[in-house]
Amino acid sequence: MNDKRIEQVLDIEKQAQEIIDAAQREAEQLPARAEQESQAIVSQARAEAEAEARKLIEAAETGDQSKEIMASMAKSSSEAEAKAKANLDKAVAYVLERVVGKA
């Protein structure tokens, strides 16, 4: 009877260790995933800003309008990039919170 209980305890300990190992593997992958996602957001925001800038430049009739539009788009691009970088900080904080919470 005691042997059965010992086996059960060992099985439970083994399962617990497998769960811990899986959680650690996931925690190790989270920062890389967050970095990839944030880079994708930055790239997408930059591409959208550049596309919008091209459209506005093509639509501009005079050189003055082009300069104003370029300045506006540069500002929009900078703002989009700043927002994307802010999301990176949030993503990293989220990952760290998840990792620390599972440790």
Q: How many CA atoms lie within 13 A of 87 on its CB side?
A: 17
CA distance 81 to 44: 10
Judge contact between 59 and 24, C-beta under 8 A.
no
- What percentage of the chain reaches a pLDDT higher than 70? 90
Res. 65 pLDDT band, cuts 50 70 90:
low
| pTM score | 0.44
Q: Give the pLDDT mean for 51-64.
A: 73
Q: Is residue 103's pLDDT more than 60? A: no
- DSSP SS3 for 1: coil
| pLDDT of res. 18 | 92
**Count of C-beta atoms within a 10 Å radius of residue 34:** 20
